[in-house]
Amino acid sequence: MLSGHLQVKKEYYYVVLNCKHPDGRRFQKWISTGIAAKRGNKRAAEETLLDFRMNYNEYGERISDGNGSPSNSAPRKKGKSSTARTPDGSVRNAPANPYGNMLFADYMLSWLSCKEIEVDPVTYAGYCESVEKHIYPYFKEKGITLAELEAKDLKEFYRSERIGDPEHGIAGKKGTTVARYHANIHAALECAVEDNLIGHNAAHHQRPTTEKFIGSFYTPEEALECMRLAEGTKLELAVYFGLFYGLRRSEIVGLQWHNFDFEHNTFTIAHTVTTYRRKGKGKVSRYAKDKTKNKSSLRTLPLIPLFREKLLALKEKQKYERELFKGSYVKDYIGYVYVNEIGELIHPDYISTEFPKFLRKHGLRKIRFHDTRHSCASLLLRNGVSMKQIQAWLGHSDYGTTANLYAHLDLEDSMLLSASMLTTGLFRASTDHAPSTDSELTDPRHGTAP
């Protein structure tokens, strides 16, 4: 049976058939289903896809019914046996589940097309990156069907991605990257199971191992120096809110004036601005939404006097610049806090690219901008703030995320406290018995301390 998948175009589902010219060159044949790409229509679109796959030959030609006219069989119900004609005109029985003959690579494209209307553009762009550039090419070459896919096939794919291809200069992927591929595969196969296309999800319990992440962070002295040097620059707002509040890049750029309560000295994280690469256009676009990364990221934080004064001064400065530049002032982002002198919103990628340059220029230790968030957590932890409170401050979705990221810092402090207590308890701070120098602790000639 001819392979193919669904694709969304102009808010409608299209069938994309993988055909070939008589000389062997491949091409894709697009056919509109006439079905709107919205929730509830996926099943009907998939039935139409099946109809076209069974009634077109490999050259993209509709198979005739024997009388010279095109076959117009209606979409078949799932689980029923039906008939279809082969390119030579003979009739054959279709299997009870013809989707089982679909290549797994093609099914991933079909799943991807359906996700376009279910998730936001940023998430969808991430799916496209994983599926179209990595998952699809690998499994298309293998020729494994959806029904044939096994756990061992996925393990081999993950292994291949981790190793890379050194002979051709292709570096291996990090475990976290391959884990994202796995997440897409697992989700797609879950859909296939729910739709009774396959009996089980081969990706269950196959998640690749990932490297344990330990973020870099600044000491209090380094953090203060970084904030001092950033004052008056375009990075000032980013550095301040990153190091003190641990805000994500998207949260900083998404700050809006109406989210600040200067009367009660609080502000709320309720709007984010992210970037993504638009499919087929190659350019980076911004995506703003009144939504945070997760439910816990929607949080209200205290506005300390230092930040209050700076923000009120910035608000007056922006008012003056609007009057100064008049018609040249960009009106699209009025209401946003992080804009330049002519009202343009600071691009999220500007922070990531300029922050390392700023650190090099001033001789500061190299960290990523996201590490300002880790620095904030470190400073909170070392000043007696509990992990649960840090979770709420940073807006982590669950306690486990906070604990996994910063357990090593908690352990370091615990070890220092244990060493201090052990020293006091063992030597009792006795001037008569306690070693007076470091050498006495390690030199056996001084005997055993009581």
Quickly list DSSP for 376-426: HHHHHHHTT--HHHHHHHHT-SSHHHHHHHHHHHHHHHHHHHHHHHHHHHH
The CA-CA-CA angle for residues 231, 236, 242, to 5°, reads 125
Same domain (yes/no): 368, 258 = yes
| CA atoms within 13 A of residue 413's CA, in its CB half-sphere | 14
Angle of CA points 269, 177, 244, to nearest 5°: 30
pLDDT of residue 97: 53
Other CB atoms within a 10 A radius of the CB of residue 292 amount to 20
Count of H-run helices and E-run strands, the chain: 15, 10
Inside any domain, residue 93: no
| Tens-binned pLDDT, residue by residue, of the chain (450 aa) | 677 888 888 888 888 888 888 887 888 888 888 888 887 788 888 888 888 888 888 888 887 544 444 444 334 334 444 443 444 444 444 444 555 578 999 999 989 888 887 888 888 889 999 999 999 999 999 999 999 999 999 999 999 999 998 888 889 999 999 999 999 999 999 998 988 888 899 999 999 888 776 668 898 999 999 999 999 999 999 999 999 999 999 999 999 999 999 999 999 999 999 887 766 555 677 788 777 666 667 899 999 999 999 999 999 999 999 999 999 999 999 999 999 999 999 999 999 999 999 999 999 999 999 999 888 888 888 888 888 888 888 887 765 656 566 645 555 555 555 556 556 666 654 544 444 444 443 343 344 333
Q: What are 403's two structure tokens?
A: 């604990």
Indicate whether 49 and 110 sit together in one domain: no
CATH code of the domain containing 161: 1.10.150.130
Determine the structural domain holding residue 205 and report its residue range.
105-211
Of 202, 18, 24, which Cα lies nearest the Cα of 110?
18
Q: Extract long-range pairs of 204-211: CB within 8 Å, 24+ residues apart.
A: 204/151, 206/151, 206/154, 206/155, 206/158, 206/182, 207/179, 207/182, 208/158, 208/162, 208/175, 208/178, 208/179, 208/182, 209/175, 210/174, 210/175, 210/176, 210/179, 211/174, 211/175, 211/176
Residue 423 lies in a domain: yes
- CATH assignment of the domain containing 226: 1.10.443.10
Cα(404)–Cα(381) distance, integer angstroms: 14
Are 365 and 443 found together in one domain?
no
Q: Are residues 379 and 445 in the same domain?
A: no
Answer for the pair 13, 29: CB distance below 8 angstroms, yes or no. Answer: no
Statement to judge: residues 351 and 228 lie in one domain: yes
Residue 89, domain member (yes or no): no
Residue 141 shares a structural domain with residue 170: yes
Beta strands at 4-9 and 12-20: parallel, antiparallel or unpaired = antiparallel
CA pair distance 389, 246, nearest whole angstrom: 13
Instruction: Give CA–CA dist 140/150, Å, rounded.
Output: 15
Specify the 3-state DSSP secondary structure of 17. Answer: strand
Q: Chain centroid to CA 94: how far?
A: 40
Ramachandran angles phi, psi of 401, nearest 5°:
-60, -45
The pTM of the full predicted model, rounded to 2 decimals, is 0.66
Residue 180: how many other CB atoms lie within 10 Å = 18
Q: How far apart are the first and last CA of the chain?
A: 85
Q: Same structural domain for residues 237 and 127?
A: no
